[in-house]
Amino acid sequence: MSKEITNDNIDKFTQDLSNHPVYNVASHAAQENGIYKASQNLQTKIDLDPTFSIEIETGKPADQKQSGRCWMFSALNTMRHPLQKKFSLKDFELSQNYTNFWDKFEKSNWFFENVIATADKDLGDRKVSFLFATPQQDGGQWDMLCGIIEKYGIVPKSVYPETANATNSSALNDTLNTLLRKDGLKLRKLVNSGKSMDEVEAVKSDMLNDVFRILATSLGLPPKKFNFEYRDDNKEYHIDKDITPKEFFDKYVGMNLEDHISTINAPTSDKPFHKVFSVEYLGNVVGGRQVRHLNLTVDEMKDLIIKQLKSGEVVWFGSNVVKDSERRAGLLDTNLYRRDQLFDTDFTMSKADMLDSGENMMDHAMVITGVDIVDGKPTKWKIENSWGEKPGFKGYFVMSDSWFDSFVYQAVINKKFLPDDLKKAYEDGKDNPIQLLPWDPMGALAFE
């Protein structure tokens, strides 16, 4: 039987305050400055000095501004860094708006196809509700960007620049989602009224035409061919005429996307290590690349990242950036805020418990560009963010190794760095991955 809170309870709790000797000082500090400032540990700034034993120079960071395209910016950053070096192009950027256009277009079709497939289920069904809650959005995953590039290629930012609706995406997302929900309900009615699939697909094609027009109006019409014209850092002039986006990717980026796989660290009881997982309804390109994750221990993930950094290749990764972070200073550390001391309360949770309870999930993707190794162990990591040059150390953050343990969930690794047993585990599971429910934390999209 449930019991209400009584006055005796409140009197007891009030009396207990005297048992906490720092209560008076702590309450004044918290009320005057807020919880985070009152509990901030200044030692973190000393411990996370931005000096690293292994460091890859990557240049000026990009800026996603008021959009949730961190996963896209970070992935394109991993591709532009080698291009900058090979072709002597300082601060060169690939077009994030180009991949943004095709991602939103493909996500719309992905939504329509899933609505058609679930038309026999009640609107109150949890999976149907999940689909209609957010038909499309800015967020995404590494494999989703690979699917876009494999189908549409890529272009320089100078050829297809940002627009107001790309850098501040809320109005476009609201407009698209209104239309997609309206059309999704219509598709359900058509299916349930017994219309043939040919008739349903014809209506869907008209709906996609509306989506395409909205995107072209808001973001611009993506080029089919273009001239790539530039001067390199030595002031030498170059021009590549009538090149297609796929030809540009092959010639100037040249990354074999199949060689790069998503690894995760999800130490929950439902996800055995060294198994491959996918997430229901997570994706964008119908018929394209499937989202797949190989679950590793945190130490295995770190070892692979360090190997990749030592080879000169940066690492895309996903994390929960809102936890124990200081944006202005660019610090990520589990000791950054000592709320346990401020409140004389234990807040400790395991990584598994944080995932299972909804305390944590991935919300942001960045790039690891360096690590400091002391006595054979990593102590801190250099992070390239996509929030421009103002936060942190001219756009770069420093992440403590303890923060990695608690809040890093995903890293994209070149398969050549995997030992034979992990290569076999991935190959054995990639074609038939274990399916996770749509709302599983490993299905969370990076969007901050």
Active-site residue list? 70, 364, 385
Under DSSP, the state recorded for 220 is -
Query: Which sign does the torsion angle of CA 145, 151, 153, 159 carry?
Result: negative
Strands (E) in 207-292, as ranges, are 226-231, 237-243, 260-264, 276-279
Amino acid at 115: V
Tokens of 42: 């200044």
* Letter string b/e over residues 61-95, b meaning 16 or more CB atoms within 10 A of that residue's CB: bbbbeebbbbbbbbbbbbbbbbbbeeeebeebbbb
Q: Where are the alpha helices (DSSP H) in 349-419?
A: 351-357, 401-407
CB-count burial class (<10 Å; 0-12, 13-18, 19+) for 328: exposed
Euclidean distance between CA atoms 388 and 396, whole angstroms:
9
What distance lies between CA 354 and its chain's CA centroid? Answer: 18
Shortest CA distance to 319 belongs to which of 366, 383, 372? 366
Bridge partners for 310 per DSSP? none
Amino acid at 390: K
- From first CA to last CA, the distance across the chain in angstroms is 43
Euclidean distance between CA atoms 150 and 131, whole angstroms:
25
Shortest CA distance to 314 belongs to which of 13, 29, 102, 59? 59
Q: Using an 8 Å Cβ cutoff, are 342 and 38 in contact?
A: yes
Half-sphere exposure in the Cβ direction for 23 (13 Å, CA): 9
Shortest CA distance to 116 belongs to which of 176, 196, 173? 196
Residue 361's contacts (CB-CB under 8 Å, 6 or more residues apart) are 320, 355, 409, 441, 444
Residue 50's contacts (CB-CB under 8 Å, 6 or more residues apart) are 382, 393, 396, 398
